[in-house]
């Protein structure tokens, strides 16, 4: 098609893609082109602004390596990851809401017995006991895998620390006959997302806080049930209402209790210590682990 004026460009591109054999690819790319072209018509970027936009996208790839995924980060801070997660994981039946996998999940974390600590010996922090029950339609789900990972009291994950080769503050548990899980850890801390790349530059330009509230990641899986990936946020943490990834919902806020006596404390706990009880509800469906992020 010979382009005679600006108004023809969008239809020319759509026509050029119309023979795409894969129907889903054809539909997705058609929607993408229509909305991208509509964005350009609304925003009317200058050529200088267009160059900066392309440099931003290029920088996402350049900053992505085997320890950091800038593309995931950009999708997170723009709310795209949360939107896609909510669309694909509706909680129509009262299931626990999904939340971001994030860039710090690791495959093959240690398989641990119920009640064991995910904190390696010498890990600083206030002792924390986490417990709850996994159910589906109100019935307990036994032998479900509860995969846990979290940041340390500095707001760092183990795969962000150069000299820490082993796995720390992560582990896999199996629910008991009553669907219950419980383990020991240390109180997590909130943290800023990485600011050294294009995403950080964008956050600074927007005057936005880069912080995430303190949370613990959960992944619940069992054959015959849809894998649940979510986060449980500490109720008294900062940044609940300004989470840079827009992941906090009311139902994902867990009540963390502080204890200043050893009454009811797990063996070996000293004061002060904390407890967090949180039940999770999953849905029937296909059990599928996510693709590991680059981290």
pLDDT digits (tens, 9 = 90+) for 111-131: 999 999 999 888 999 999 999
Give the confidence band of 187 by pLDDT, cuts at 50, 70, 90: very high
**What is the pLDDT at residue 294?**
45
pLDDT at 165: 63
Q: What pLDDT is stored for residue 293 in this prediction?
A: 54
Predicted TM-score of the model (pTM): 0.90
Q: Please enumerate in sequence order all residues whose Cβ is within 8 A of that of 188, keeping only pairs 6 or more positions apart, or say none.
A: 128, 150, 151, 152, 153, 169, 214, 215, 216, 234
Whether pLDDT at 146 is above 70: yes
Separation CA 209–CA 27 (nearest Å): 36
**Do residues 3 and 13 lie in contact, with contact meaning Cβ atoms separated by under 8 Å?**
no
Given a cut of 80, is residue 22 above it in pLDDT? yes
Tell me which H or E stretch contains 136.
strand 127-136
What would the pLDDT profile of 203-241 be if each residue is shown by its tens digit? 999 999 999 999 999 999 999 999 999 999 999 999 999
Per-residue pLDDT averaged across 152-167, rounded? 81
Enter the DSSP assignment of 38.
H
Instruction: Supply the mean pLDDT for the chain.
Output: 93
Nearest-angstrom CA–CA distance, 274 and 276: 7
pLDDT at 88 over 60: yes
d(CA 217, CA 14): 41
What are the structural domains, with CATH classification, of the chain? 91-281 (2.60.130.10)
The fraction of the chain above a pLDDT of 90, given in percent, is 82
272 within 8 A of 126, measured Cβ to Cβ: yes
What pLDDT is stored for residue 162 in this prediction? 61
Q: For position 295, what pLDDT does the model report?
A: 40
Q: Is the pLDDT of residue 201 over 70?
A: yes
User: Within its chain, how far is the Cα of 16 from the centroid?
Assistant: 37
CB within 8 Å of 288: residues ≥ 6 apart? 227
What is the percentage of the chain residues whose pLDDT exceeds 70?
97
Distance CA 262, CA 201 (A): 46
CA atoms within 13 A on the CB side of 87: 6
Q: Which of 32, 51, 53 is nearest to 202 (CA)?
A: 53
Cβ burial of 261 (10 Å; 0-12, 13-18, 19+) is: exposed
Do 275 and 257 touch, CB atoms closer than 8 A?
yes
What local confidence, expressed as pLDDT, does residue 87 receive?
92
């Amino acid at each position: 098609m010979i382009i005679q004026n600006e108004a023809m460009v969008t239809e020319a591109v759509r026509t050029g893609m119309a023979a795409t054999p894969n129907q889903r690819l054809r539909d997705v790319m058609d929607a993408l082109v229509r909305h991208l072209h509509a964005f350009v018509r609304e925003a009317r970027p200058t050529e200088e602004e267009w160059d900066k936009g392309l440099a931003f996208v290029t920088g996402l790839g350049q900053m992505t390596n085997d320890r950091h995924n800038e593309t995931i980060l950009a999708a997170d801070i723009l709310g795209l990851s949360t939107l896609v997660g909510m669309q694909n994981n509706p909680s129509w039946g009262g299931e626990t809401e999904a939340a971001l996998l994030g860039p710090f999940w690791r495959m093959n974390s240690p398989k641990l017995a119920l009640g064991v600590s995910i904190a390696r010996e010498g890990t600083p922090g206030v002792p924390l006991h986490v417990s709850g029950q996994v159910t589906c339609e109100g019935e307990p789900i036994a032998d479900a895998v509860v995969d846990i990972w979290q940041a340390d009291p500095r707001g760092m994950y183990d795969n962000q620390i150069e000299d820490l080769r082993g796995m720390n503050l992560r582990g896999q548990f199996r629910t008991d006959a009553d669907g219950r899980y419980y383990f020991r850890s240390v109180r997590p801390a909130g943290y800023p997302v990485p600011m050294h790349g294009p995403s950080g530059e964008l956050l600074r330009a927007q005057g936005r806080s880069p912080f995430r509230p303190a949370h613990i990641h959960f992944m619940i899986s069992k054959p015959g049930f849809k894998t649940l990936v979510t986060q449980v946020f500490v109720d008294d943490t900062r940044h609940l209402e300004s989470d840079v990834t827009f992941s906090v919902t009311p139902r994902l806020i867990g009540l963390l209790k502080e204890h200043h006596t050893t009454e009811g404390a797990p063996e070996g706990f000293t004061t002060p210590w904390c407890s967090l009880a949180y039940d999770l509800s999953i849905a029937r469906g296909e059990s599928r682990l996510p693709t590991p992020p680059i981290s």
